[in-house]
Amino acid sequence: MVFIKTGGTKMKSTTIDLAGQNVHYYEWGKSGKPVLVLLHGLANSADCFRELVSYLKEEYHVFAFDNSGHGRTGAFRI
């Protein structure tokens, strides 16, 4: 887990194991706030939300995941 300071609020960068596959996500905001999950489209990564999150992180607990085969998440094996 890595903490990166972005615009006054720390961004947490984490990789979790999901059914044997590493899945990467970013997290901003505080527990107890409404949860907002951001999912990117094809040929992108969770990094595309960094600017948008600057407007959301004070009111929401934001999660942005790298989809399978994108960003820091490997391709899922079926």
Tell me the per-residue pLDDT of 35-65, one tens digit each, with 9 for 90 and over: 999 999 989 999 999 999 999 999 999 999 9
Q: Is the pTM of this model over 0.85?
A: no
Is beta strand 35-39 parallel, antiparallel or unpaired with respect to 61-65? parallel
Q: For residues 3 and 10, is the Cβ–Cβ distance under 8 A?
A: yes
Q: Residue 48 and residue 58: Cα distance in Å, rounded? A: 19
The confidence score (pLDDT) of residue 9 equals 61
- DSSP helix/strand/coil, 8: coil
